[in-house]
Amino acid sequence: MQIDPRALDEAVDAEGFTGVVTVDVGDQRVLERCEGFVHRALQAPMTPGARLAIASGSKGFTALAVMRLVEEGVLRLDDPVRGLLGDDLPLVDDDVTIEHLLTHTSGIGDYLDEASDWKVSDFVLSVPVHELRTAEAFLPMLDGHPHKFPAGERFAYCNGGFMVLAILLERATGSTYHDAVRRLVIEPAGLRRTGFLPLNDLPADAALGYVFNEGNLANTLHLPVLGNGDGGAFTTAEDVHQFWLAMLDGRIVTREGVEEMTRPRNDVPQENKRYGMGFWIHRTHPALILEGFDAGVSFRSTHLVEARTTVTVLGNSSHGAWPVVAELARAIDAELGAN
């Protein structure tokens, strides 16, 4: 893959990128770049092994945990979610299935609608952030949102759908969402430095997420204290590459399960991508994408399956990564011969 160093420099400078950029091919790292700080006030420099949050990038973990339970016979993709919700969330239609949630085609109302007019600096959560330690704790925020359209009618990205999946995981396993994902996904994949870290008690190697490109305002009060089904895991560039290889090698779910999850289900023209179950897919090629954006987080990882190549941008500010993501996307398109 040809990456223009000068163009990458310009992309880094465009929004003051802070974070880690890597390109891994098989077992070899061919590009590594660190910018900015893990902790700005202390001037602690970013390192290749820093743990950064990936926001919605961890929806892939939720989807894989659900698929593990499907393969174990605990759940079925065509199960109506009402069976595990019981009387909770009565506005969720009875015909909504697990597969609808995984593919963003459920039509349920979203507690955090990305199409609405909100800024990363807004305080959008209606429950005190310190209470959001389990999926069940999100129930008050998930309730009261009317359906937008009948289940299965069309694609509409929905954070709330993945929070409902997290609740189903807790109820189906009898454990917390975090324990379920650790057992079903993180440990089988061998991800030694990936997990859900409390924002108010981060270890030294975890990067603070900064709301703006400059200044020290961290995202601690803008996000749940622990990430959950719709996003919020912390990871490293090395673990991201390891994740893709483990998934595609069938170490999390079977290869057949991976094929089902990464089969394009919907074209999403406004994102210039396609979507499977928990994973974005390149618009013309079978390259897989995880992406996340939130207060203090800007992330994308693209895996070129046949080349076993991972291109990852982990940013610890809200907007800094996107010019870098765009420049690397151009290099990926050129490598794939995409039009």
DSSP 48-117: TT-BEE-GGGGHHHHHHHHHHHHHTTS--TT-BTHHHHTTSSTTS-TT-BHHHHHTT-S----SS-TTSS
Lowest mean pLDDT among 109-123, 163-177, 259-273: 109-123
The pLDDT tens digits for 71-113 are 999 999 999 999 999 999 999 999 999 999 999 999 999 998 7
User: Cα–Cα distance between 208 and 211 in angstroms, integer?
Assistant: 10
CATH of the domain at 283: 3.40.710.10
The conformational region for residue 325 under phi > 0 = left, psi -120 to 50 = alpha, else beta, is alpha
Q: Taking 70 as the threshold, does the pLDDT of residue 275 lie above it? A: yes
Neighbours of 199 (CB within 10 A): 25
Per cent of the chain over pLDDT 90 is 96
User: Cα–Cα distance between 333 and 116 in angstroms, integer?
Assistant: 30
The pLDDT tens digits for 200-243 are 999 999 999 999 999 999 999 999 999 999 999 999 999 999 99
Phi, psi of 267 (to 5 degrees): -80, 140
Q: Taking 80 as the threshold, does the pLDDT of residue 114 lie above it? A: no
- Residue 72: partners with Cβ closer than 8 Å, 6 or more residues away: none
Q: Taking 90 as the threshold, does the pLDDT of residue 338 lie above it? A: no
CA distances from 116 to 110, 124, 129, 307, 321 (A): 10, 11, 21, 38, 22
Number of domains in the chain: 1
User: Cα–Cα distance between 110 and 54 in angstroms, integer?
Assistant: 20
| pLDDT of res. 97 | 98
Q: Quote the domain boundaries for residue 225.
A: 5-336
Confidence (pTM) = 0.97
Q: Taking 70 as the threshold, does the pLDDT of residue 339 lie above it? A: no
Q: Taking 80 as the threshold, does the pLDDT of residue 116 lie above it? A: no
Widest pairwise Cα distance in the chain:
57
pLDDT grade, residue 146 (50/70/90)? very high
